[in-house]
Amino acid sequence: MGKSCEPILYLYYNGERFIQCNPPLMYQQSRTSQRTASRDNNMFGLKKSAVCFVFPKEGQFLSRREMGASLIEVLVSIVIASIALLALAGVNAAALRYTKMSQYRATATMLAADIGERMRANKAGFLVNGYQYVTDFAGQSAAPLLPAQLCDTAVSSCSETDIATLDLVQWRILVRNQLPEGAVFVQRQIGDPTLIAADVWVVWRDPAVASTDESPASVNECPDGLNKGADASIRCGFFRINL
């Protein structure tokens, strides 16, 4: 079906506009809409039939030379959208990595609070360096084993050193179970006899460190005694515990 409008109609003969056609015709809404009207030999003094084309008003359709411009625009839009989606995927992956890193730090904080409470509950064991543990990262690759004296019955006879040893082993097991390749480094503060405190490092291997951009900002994040070398995936959380 056509649509009523007021197009400008011209009579074309041999490729040249000859005269405006009247009256206005019905035309299809399409780039190639046209109507033909055969004129006899006497009309306009022509000896051959002429064709009357329908030209819509200016700005309604693109010219013949601009055909295909919409397709190019669609292709460009697809390319831009693809780049945006790739960037969004990268941002999403980075967000997941950073979320996991935050989870490790939060877990390390809770584990440090755990050993702090154990030290406060057995201050005598702390004073005899029962919670000291300075083994390097490679030396903690094997799972820790519980001591023979578990101090878990009413008839158990455990000294403060036995309790400290049990606390330390149980805590190391927790660290290893809750963090990837979890390890610890505990050193009592020395130098000031009035200061009863310990420096605690909770250590783990962070698989989210995929590039140098994500490596630790501080080279002193881990203690020298841990001997982690140049492995940037080994992360440390430092805590100072005052008793």
Confidence bin at 153 (pLDDT 50/70/90): confident
Task: Give pTM, 2 decimals.
Answer: 0.63
In this prediction, residue 198 carries a pLDDT of 94
Higher pLDDT, 39 or 159: 159
Residue (of 193, 200, 203) closest to 240 by Cα position: 200
Phi, psi of 192 (to 5 degrees): -110, 110
More confident residue, 125 or 74: 125
Q: What is the pLDDT of residues 42-67, one digit of tens each?
A: 444 444 444 444 444 444 444 555 55
What does residue 63 show for φ and ψ, rounded to 5 degrees?
-75, 170
Instruction: Render pLDDT for 192-224 as a digit per residue (tens, 0 to 9).
Output: 777 899 999 999 998 776 555 555 555 578 998
Mean pLDDT, residues 79-88? 91
> Token match 């490729």: residue?
15
Vertex 158 angle, CA 130 and 172, to 5° = 45
